[in-house]
Amino acid sequence: MTRAALLRHPVSVVWGILIAATLTSWWLGTDHGVSNEQTASILILVVAFIKVRFVGLYFMELRHAPLPLRMIFEGYCFVVCTTVILMFVIE
Amino acid sequence: MSTVAESEADATGPESPASGKPAKHIPGEEGTWIFILGDMTVFALLFGVFIDARSKHPVLFDHSQAILNQNYGAINTLLLLSSSMMVITGIRAIRHDIRGLAPAMFLGAIGCGLGFAFMKYLEWSEKFSHGIKPATNDFWMYYFILTGLHFFHLILGMLVLTYLFVQSRKPALTVRQFAFVEGGACFWHMVDLLWIVLFPLLYLVK
> Measured between alpha carbons, how far is B182 from B79 in angstroms, rounded to an integer?
20
Instruction: Evaluate whether B160 touches B133 at the Cβ level (below 8 Å).
Output: no
Q: Phi then psi for A2, rounded to 5 degrees?
A: -90, 170
Contact criterion met (CB below 8 Å) for B17 and B23: yes
- Give the whole-angstrom CA distance, residue B142 versus residue B93: 40
Looking at the partner chain, which of A18, A47, A69 has a beta carbon nearest the beta carbon of B33? A69
Cβ contacts below 8 Å, chain A against chain B, sum to: 139
For A41-58, the pLDDT digits (tens) are: 898 899 999 999 999 999
What's residue A32's pLDDT?
Answer: 58
Looking at residue B15, what is its pLDDT? 62
Whether B3 is covered by a domain: the verdict is: no
Digit-by-digit pLDDT tens for chain B (206 residues) are 566 665 543 445 666 545 556 678 999 988 999 999 999 999 999 999 999 999 999 999 999 999 999 999 999 999 999 999 999 999 999 999 987 899 999 999 999 999 999 999 999 999 999 999 999 999 999 999 999 999 999 999 999 999 999 999 999 999 999 999 999 999 999 999 999 999 999 998 88
Residue B11 domain flag: no
Domain membership of residue B129 (yes or no) is: yes
Residue B205: what pLDDT?
A: 87
| Residue A7: predicted pLDDT | 82
Quote the domain boundaries for residue B129: 30-204
Give which of B39, B83, B85 to mutate to test A binding, by max A Cβ within 10 Å.
Answer: B85
B48 to chain A: closest CA residue: A84
How far B152 CA lies from chain A's nearest CA (Å)?
Answer: 20
How many domains is chain B built from? 1
Q: Quote the CA–CA distance of A70 and B134 in Å, as a whole number.
A: 37
In a domain, B119, yes or no: yes
Could you tell me if B87 and B161 are in contact, meaning their C-beta atoms sit under 8 angstroms apart?
yes
pLDDT in tens, B142-160: 999 999 999 999 999 999 9
- In angstroms, the CA B1 to CA A39 distance is 57
Q: Is residue B172 part of a domain?
A: yes
Are B204 and A22 in contact (CB < 8 Å)? no
Per CB-CB distance under 8 Å, the chain A contacts of B13 are 61
Is residue B21 assigned to a domain?
Answer: no
Is residue A6 scored above 90 in pLDDT? Answer: no
C-alpha dihedral, B17 to B21 to B27 to B33, nearest 10° = -150
B3: helix, strand or coil: strand
Burial label for B30, CB within 10 Å (0-12, 13-18, 19+), is exposed
For the segment B46-83, what is each residue's pLDDT rounded down to a tens digit? 999 999 999 999 999 999 999 999 999 999 999 999 99
Look up the ipTM and state it. 0.92
HSE, CB side, 13 Å, CA atoms: give it for residue A30. Answer: 13
Q: B186 with B36: CB under 8 angstroms?
A: yes
* A76 vs B contacts (CB less than 8 Å): 37, 40-41, 44
Nearest CA in chain B to A24: B74
pTM reported for the whole predicted model? 0.92
Decide if B5 is inside a domain.
no
A12 DSSP assignment:
H
Q: Is residue B12 part of a domain?
A: no
CA gap B90, B169 in Å, rounded: 11
CATH code, B95: 1.20.120.80
Q: What is the DSSP string of B89-129?
A: HHHHHHHTT-TTHHHHHHHHHHHHHHHHHHHHHHHHHHHHH
